[in-house]
Amino acid sequence: MAEDHDGMVVYWRPGCPYCMKLRLRLRFSRLTYTEVNIWRDPEAAAFVRSVADGNETVPTVSVAGHSMVNPSKRQVLAAVRTHAPHLEAS
């Protein structure tokens, strides 16, 4: 799965403590998003490399076409408010 220009995608990989931390925090946010394991999706891994200076740095989050490498929950929520407010639960 490549970037979603209307929604939010969290790119992650197993064993990544930063991924586990962000994914856990986002689960309680009530946002609508998709999670993609870059070790199972070569296209997703290529996308992450394209926005992370050639590295497979995760978590990488794409919000309506705006990518962030290793963002905090606060940064993700700010990006959603700015670029994709339709993803917030009412």
* Of 88, 41, 27, nearest in space to 63 by CA: 88
Q: Structure pTM?
A: 0.91
**CATH tag for 8-82 (out of 1.25.40.10, 3.40.30.10, 3.30.750.24, 3.40.390.10):** 3.40.30.10
pLDDT of 2 higher than 80: no
State pLDDT tens for residues 22-55: 999 999 888 989 999 999 999 999 999 999 999 9
Residue 79 has pLDDT above 80, yes or no: yes
User: Can you tell me whether residue 65 is helix, strand or coil?
Assistant: coil
- Dihedral class, residue 62 (left if φ above 0, else alpha if ψ from -120 to 50, else beta): beta
Residue with tokens 């705006």: 66
CB 87 within 8 A of CB 81: no
The one-character DSSP state at 1 is: -
Query: How much of the chain, in percent, has pLDDT values that exceed 90?
Result: 83
